[in-house]
């Protein structure tokens, strides 16, 4: 395994870092101010976001994800990792480069499993950053970490499918530009356990789709993106909106969640790097009890541990990316599960130390630490709770010793 950066990646890294310093970090505050000046935090996008997007597009820093595809920048997962990391240093960074969740995962689904017509209608405007999308799988009434529990129904009726169900935590559905949902539901409850589910494209303006409320995360509304509870009540869409085919929902979920998960991990490494940088700068500028906070042994231990933790997580992420590139997402499932446990826990630890080193300032919104912490905490749940990934890792480990039947 060679994790050195190619010439192409080194150039992109430099360009991206310069762009972040020139356009993204200085505009974090502007973005927040513009959002708060609006009549509602949900009805419009701060104009600075479009300005930054246009600049990123012009600079060729656009759609850097999407490996093995005629779309995107033609980078492998391993090449994308250090770039995604840089974007993740800012909460608003990924969207500037059209590389934010859940759109990247949804675009991968459309690129891999969409029909030509679906690609034209939905993938192209998503790639252009003109519209946004959401992914509706989780339901309030069932333990959705086990996707076989999903109850929503997708029933064929002539040339249409009829969708019924209640979903929550559909991230991104609050965005006024969000036009399309990928909805997971059951199309055949009599089929084999993993062939009952389908995924279907539902335009959000279809009659019967109601956004009932937006769910805050530790008090952050994450506007204008947000996390929605959505009711699908006798929603009718053309049969052509089915993705790949009836019964393929589980298979698509496996394909979708791999890239989506590792992107979260890459961004979390960036968030941890940013937190460590903030920590180091802060403790060199504050004096307590007669010496710089940086001179306290305990603080130096935090710094050392943070560096160790980040490096370990980065190496495992790169290994997972390498596996995805060389043997495919399915074969890389153990590494993806491992990094999905490691990265959020690592980021939480590093950000927590940075918050501590900032004193009260650390939990205020004068710094982005609190927001990054809240986001990292959700990622111990979103895209699968730690326990479910650990279960998967244990299952694969046990399988090596041919003790069949221990974990189904």
- Residue closer to ligand FAD (CB basis): 78 or 104: 104
Burial (Cβ within 10 Å: 0-12, 13-18, ≥19) of residue 59: middle
- Residue closer to ligand FAD (CB basis): 168 or 367: 168
385 binds ligand FAD (CB under 6 A): yes
143 binds ligand FAD (CB under 6 A): yes
3-class DSSP state of 370: helix
170 binds ligand FAD (CB under 6 A): yes
Min separation Cβ 12 and ligand FAD, Å: 28
- Residue closer to ligand FAD (CB basis): 306 or 337: 337
Q: Which region among 124-132, 141-149, 330-338, 347-355 touches ligand FAD (by CB under 6 A)?
A: 141-149
Q: Phi, psi at residue 129, to the nearest 5°? A: 75, 20
Which helix (H) or strand (E) is 157 found in, with range? strand 153-157
Question: How far is the C-alpha of 398 from the C-alpha of 392, rounded, in Å?
Answer: 10
141 binds ligand FAD (CB under 6 A): no
Query: Out of 63, 90, 171, 198, which residue is the one contacting ligand FAD (CB under 6 A)?
Result: 171
- Residue closer to ligand FAD (CB basis): 56 or 173: 173
3-class DSSP state of 94: helix
Residue among 83, 91, 72 nearest 19 (CA) = 83
Which alpha helices (H) appear in 64-102, and where do they start and end? 77-87, 93-96
Q: Which region among 122-130, 290-298, 342-350, 378-386 touches ligand FAD (by CB under 6 A)?
A: 378-386
Min separation Cβ 146 and ligand FAD, Å: 6
In degrees, to the nearest 5, what angle opens at C-alpha 265 toward C-alphas 401 and 182?
95
Question: Does residue 372 contact residue 274 with C-beta atoms inside 8 Å?
Answer: yes
Min separation Cβ 223 and ligand FAD, Å: 13
278 binds ligand FAD (CB under 6 A): no
DSSP label at 364?
Answer: S
Query: Out of 225, 345, 383, 389, which residue is the one contacting ligand FAD (CB under 6 A)?
Result: 383
204 binds ligand FAD (CB under 6 A): no
Q: Which residue in this structure is represented by tokens 């600075």? A: 48
226 binds ligand FAD (CB under 6 A): no
- Residue closer to ligand FAD (CB basis): 165 or 384: 384
Handedness of CA 6, 7, 8, 14 (dihedral sign): positive
Beta bridge partners of 202: 181
Burial (Cβ within 10 Å: 0-12, 13-18, ≥19) of residue 343: buried
217 binds ligand FAD (CB under 6 A): yes
Query: Which structure tokens are listed for 36?
Result: 């708060």
198 binds ligand FAD (CB under 6 A): no
Question: Does residue 358 contact residue 367 with C-beta atoms inside 8 Å?
Answer: yes
Query: Out of 387, 394, 397, 406, which residue is the one contacting ligand FAD (CB under 6 A)?
Result: 387
Distance in angstroms between the alpha carbons of the first and the last residue of the chain: 32
102 binds ligand FAD (CB under 6 A): yes
Min separation Cβ 373 and ligand FAD, Å: 13
Query: Out of 16, 209, 378, 389, which residue is the one contacting ligand FAD (CB under 6 A)?
Result: 378
Query: Out of 135, 161, 302, 373, which residue is the one contacting ligand FAD (CB under 6 A)?
Result: 135
| CB < 8 Å & 24+ apart, contacts of 321-326 | 321/76, 321/77, 321/78, 321/80, 321/81, 321/262, 322/1, 322/3, 322/77, 322/78, 324/67, 324/77, 324/258, 324/259, 324/262, 325/67, 325/76, 325/77, 325/78
# residues contacting ligand FAD (CB under 6 A): 22
Query: Out of 227, 261, 263, 389, which residue is the one contacting ligand FAD (CB under 6 A)?
Result: 227
Question: Does residue 360 contact residue 353 with C-beta atoms inside 8 Å?
Answer: no
Query: Out of 34, 38, 145, 356, which residue is the one contacting ligand FAD (CB under 6 A)?
Result: 145
273 binds ligand FAD (CB under 6 A): no
Query: Which structure tokens are listed for 158?
Result: 């002539």
Q: What is the footprint of ligand FAD within residues 307-366 (CB under 6 A)?
A: none
223 binds ligand FAD (CB under 6 A): no
Q: Which region among 30-38, 130-138, 192-200, 291-299 touches ligand FAD (by CB under 6 A)?
A: 130-138
77 binds ligand FAD (CB under 6 A): no
Q: Which region among 83-91, 133-141, 249-257, 343-351 touches ligand FAD (by CB under 6 A)?
A: 133-141
The residues that touch ligand FAD, with contacts defined as CB under 6 A, are 102, 135-138, 143-145, 169-171, 217, 227, 378, 381-385, 387-388, 391
């Amino acid at each position: 395994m060679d994790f050195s950066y190619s010439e192409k990646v080194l150039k992109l890294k430099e360009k991206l870092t310069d762009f972040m310093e020139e356009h993204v970090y200085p505009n974090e505050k502007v973005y927040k101010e513009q959002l708060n000046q609006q009549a509602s935090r949900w009805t419009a996008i701060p104009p600075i976001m479009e300005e930054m997007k246009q600049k990123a597009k012009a600079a060729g820093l656009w759609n850097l994800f999407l490996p093995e595809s005629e779309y995107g920048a033609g980078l492998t997962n391993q090449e994308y990792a250090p770039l995604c990391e840089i974007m993740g240093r800012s909460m608003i960074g990924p969207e500037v480069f059209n590389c934010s969740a859940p759109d990247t995962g949804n675009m991968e689904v459309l690129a891999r499993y969409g029909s030509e017509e679906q690609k034209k209608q939905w993938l192209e405007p998503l790639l252009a950053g003109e519209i946004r999308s959401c992914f509706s799988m989780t339901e309030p009434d069932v333990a959705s970490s086990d996707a076989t529990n999903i109850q929503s129904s997708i029933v064929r009726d002539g040339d249409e499918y009829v969708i019924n169900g209640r979903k929550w935590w559909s991230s991104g559905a609050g965005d006024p530009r969000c036009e399309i949902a990928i909805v997971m539901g059951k199309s055949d409850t009599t089929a084999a356990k993993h062939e009952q589910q389908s995924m279907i494209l539902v335009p959000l303006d279809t009659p019967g789709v109601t956004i009932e409320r937006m769910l805050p995360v530790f008090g952050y509304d994450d506007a204008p993106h947000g996390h929605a509870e959505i009711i699908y009540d006798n929603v009718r869409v053309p049969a052509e909106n089915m993705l790949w085919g009836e019964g393929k929902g589980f298979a698509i979920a496996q394909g979708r969640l791999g890239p989506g998960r590792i992107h979260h991990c890459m961004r979390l490494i960036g968030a941890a790097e940013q937190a460590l940088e903030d920590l180091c700068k802060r403790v060199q500028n504050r004096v307590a009890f007669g010496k710089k906070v940086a001179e306290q042994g305990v603080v130096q231990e935090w710094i050392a541990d943070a560096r160790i933790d980040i490096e370990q997580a980065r190496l495992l992420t790169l290994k997972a990316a390498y596996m995805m590139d060389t043997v495919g997402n399915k074969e890389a499932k153990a590494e993806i599960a491992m990094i999905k446990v490691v990265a959020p826990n690592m980021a939480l630890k590093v950000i927590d130390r940075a918050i501590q080193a900032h004193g009260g300032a650390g939990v205020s919104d004068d710094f982005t630490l609190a927001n990054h912490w809240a986001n990292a905490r959700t990622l111990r749940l979103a895209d699968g709770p730690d326990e479910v990934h650990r279960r998967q890792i244990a299952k694969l480990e046990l399988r090596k010793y041919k003790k069949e039947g221990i974990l189904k």
